[in-house]
Structures are given as structure tokens and as C-alpha cells.
Amino acid sequence: MNINMLMQQAQRMQKEVENNVKKAKAELAQTEVQAEAGGGLVKVTMTCRNVVKRIEINPELLQDDPEMIEDLIAAAINDAARQVETISDEKLKSANSGMGLPPGLSGLF
């Protein structure tokens, strides 16, 4: 096989992977997750690009200790971040699938 043909094929595959990853990232920017803490006293909505869109605090909670409120907000955001990481990993992994990349290389994109 000609080295030039191999290089052209590799460039086509690279462009395809780049396009798939770009599309996946655009989809992730539109995907939202909801998380809560304290049995729903604090709710967070976050995009899969780690943009917090909304924080809801139950008015009853505002009568409590500020440190507890802060802890619940942090817990809800951390839960949302874990969900985002899982969804993002799956989406980007599928964007790289089918490219014929050796194991371990698909994580580079």
C-alpha cells in the first residue's frame, strides 16, 4: 500500500473524529442534568458543559443554619457534576467509536 494513501486515510479519519467530537460537545452544551440534596430542599440544573443554569432553594430551608444551606448547595452541584462527567464520557466515547483506533487512543480526542 502506498504511504501517501495511508496518510490521506489517516487525515480523513482524523477529520471524522474531530467532527464527531465537535458535534458531541455541541450536544453536551444543550444537555442538562438535574440534581438535588437534602431530600429536594436544594435543586441544581447544570449543562453537560458545567454551566449552572439554576439553583432552587426551598424557602423553608432559608430559616436554617447558613452553613447547612451551603453544604446542601455544594452537595447538589457535586452530584450534578458527577452526572455530567458520566454523560460526557459516554458521549465522547461514542463520538470516537468506529474509527478503528487502537485501545487507549480514542481517549486522546
Does the residue 5 lie in any domain? no
Range of the domain at 52: 36-88
Does the residue 109 lie in any domain? no
- Predicted confidence (pLDDT) at residue 108 exceeds the cutoff of 60: no
Does the residue 69 lie in any domain? yes
- Predicted confidence (pLDDT) at residue 109 exceeds the cutoff of 50: no
Average pLDDT for residues 40-63, to the nearest whole number? 93
Q: What is the pTM of this model?
A: 0.71
Question: Which residues in 1-109 belong to E strands, given as ranges?
Answer: 32-37, 42-47, 52-57
Average pLDDT for residues 94-109, to the nearest whole number? 59
Does the residue 70 lie in any domain? yes
Does the residue 16 lie in any domain? no
Does the residue 68 lie in any domain? yes
Which band of pLDDT confidence, cut at 50, 70 and 90, is reported for residue 105?
low
Count of the separate structural domains present in the chain: 1
Domain holding 71: CATH number?
3.30.1310.10
Which band of pLDDT confidence, cut at 50, 70 and 90, is reported for residue 38?
very high
3-state secondary structure the chain: CCHHHHHHHHHHHHHHHHHHHHHHHHHHHHCEEEEEECCCCEEEEEECCCCEEEEEECHHHHHCCHHHHHHHHHHHHHHHHHHHHHHHHHHHHHHHCCCCCCCCCHHHC
